[in-house]
């Protein structure tokens, strides 16, 4: 059908990171009632959101800012369409189930964004530690994200401390790291030979 065809066109444009093409498709601003079409739509929205957040280096967001008329991700003034709040919340719940966002509180008004799922972050951190001879050593999360051993092209570069802490906790559960809290908001990681 026409909507499915437009969804597939948008999916292909996402591969090319052509956000303007996506934003010009009116069906995307209405959550589709047909379950298989809605599932495809949520998948495409999810990919678009994560790419958008990553491209713009957004690691935290709030529902009110995403729901504002001026937010380019969920609003297109040219075609006079905006994803309604219930659609935004459905999408965010979907991203939460995928492990791509984590609510900061029970009111579900703000969240942390994971460009990669937490398991992938843990793997990236451990590979970084091996590559940079950090096994057996302690490094701060900030150093892992912004230090001299992390190139701007590395996936870990610029990630928020909350995101890295989630990855470090996974490594800790795998006995590949020990998380050390140095003060209220500062953490270090001792990488262990796994």
Could you write out the three-class secondary structure of 6-34? HHHHHHHHHHCCCHHHHHCCHHHHCCCCC
At residue 160 the predicted structure's pLDDT band, cuts being 50, 70 and 90, is confident
Instruction: Compute CA distances 160 → 11, 48, 176, whole Å.
Output: 28, 20, 21
How many residues does this entry show for the chain? 194
Q: Which of 41, 185, 46 is nearest to 114 (CA)?
A: 46
For residue 11, pLDDT over 50 is answered with no
Average pLDDT (26-32) is: 81
- Joined together, the tokens standing for residue 177 give 């790291």
For the segment 87-141, what is each residue's pLDDT rounded down to a tens digit? 999 999 999 998 889 999 999 999 999 888 889 999 999 999 999 999 999 999 9
pTM over 0.75: no
């Amino acid at each position: 059908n026409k909507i499915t065809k437009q969804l597939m066109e948008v999916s292909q444009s996402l591969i090319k990171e052509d956000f303007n093409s996506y934003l010009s498709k009116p069906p995307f601003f209405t959550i589709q009632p047909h379950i298989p079409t809605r599932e495809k739509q949520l998948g495409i929205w999810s990919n678009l959101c994560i790419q958008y957040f990553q491209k713009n280096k957004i690691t935290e967001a709030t529902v009110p800012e995403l729901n504002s008329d001026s937010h380019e991700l969920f609003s297109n003034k040219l075609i006079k369409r905006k994803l309604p709040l219930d659609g935004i919340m459905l999408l965010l719940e979907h991203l939460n189930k995928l492990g791509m966002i984590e609510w900061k509180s029970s009111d579900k008004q703000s969240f942390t964004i994971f460009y990669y799922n937490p398991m992938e972050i843990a793997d990236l951190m451990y590979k970084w530690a091996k590559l940079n001879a950090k096994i057996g050593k302690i490094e701060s999360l900030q150093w892992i994200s912004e230090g001299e051993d992390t190139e701007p092209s590395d996936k870990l570069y610029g990630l928020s401390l909350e995101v890295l802490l989630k990855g470090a906790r996974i490594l800790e559960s795998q006995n590949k790291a020990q998380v050390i809290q140095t003060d209220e908001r500062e953490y270090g990681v001792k990488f262990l030979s796994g």
